[in-house]
Amino acid sequence: MIATTTPAETRTLVENISWQTFKTMLAEMGCNRNTKFAYDHGNIEIMTPQMPHENSNRNIEGFVIILCEELGLEIKRAGSLTLTRDDIQRGAEPDSSYYIQNEYLVRSKDKIDLAIDPPPDLVLEVEYSRPQIDKLKLYAALGIPEFWRYNGSKLRIYTLTNGEYLEVEISPTFTPITIKEITGFLAETSNIGEIATTRIFRNWVKEQLWKK
């Protein structure tokens, strides 16, 4: 008997699509869908998440909330908010996005327009498989200050500097916590459960803050 593994996500690249066609696709398909889109220079990546992908996404979000609570930071969760810029003809739907530093500017808003509103302060992409579009260039163009990538075993943190991303060891949003330790806690959820791991993570964050 051959064991099979369910992929964490599937990715499809569609080429030579105009910006207007992409905007029409978004409007016609609406928000009630499982797929997430990214658009850059005429190419569309269509990503369909499966259980491992979504589970990692949700667990990381739980850790982000705890970090905000323990550091006294307010937050507005924007999820897979569709981010589009007509002026540069680029768009993306991250796995998760958050307003933290600029939360007060969008607190009461139900709709975000990047022509007048700031982009999310932090976005997360779960990437068990190789992206079909260069997300570093895409999110840099959209002006996202902090970008997290999780590939199933490692969390990478990037900050926007002079229009390009630089990988860093410490998240500027959650200083002085060593955010990359999150990967160990993610692995632990499969052993002792998500609630138990969340409790341990919160205690760990408190210990880190106490040491500082």
d(CA 180, CA 187): 13
Residue 172 DSSP code: S
Report pLDDT digits (tens) over 44-84. Answer: 999 999 999 999 999 999 999 999 999 999 999 999 999 99
What's the average model confidence in pLDDT over 96-108? Answer: 97
Report pLDDT digits (tens) over 12-38. Answer: 999 999 999 999 999 998 877 889 999
Report pLDDT digits (tens) over 111-132. Answer: 999 999 999 999 999 999 999 9
Report pLDDT digits (tens) over 143-187. Answer: 999 999 999 999 999 999 999 999 999 999 999 898 888 999 999
What pLDDT does residue 41 have? 92
pTM score, whole prediction: 0.92
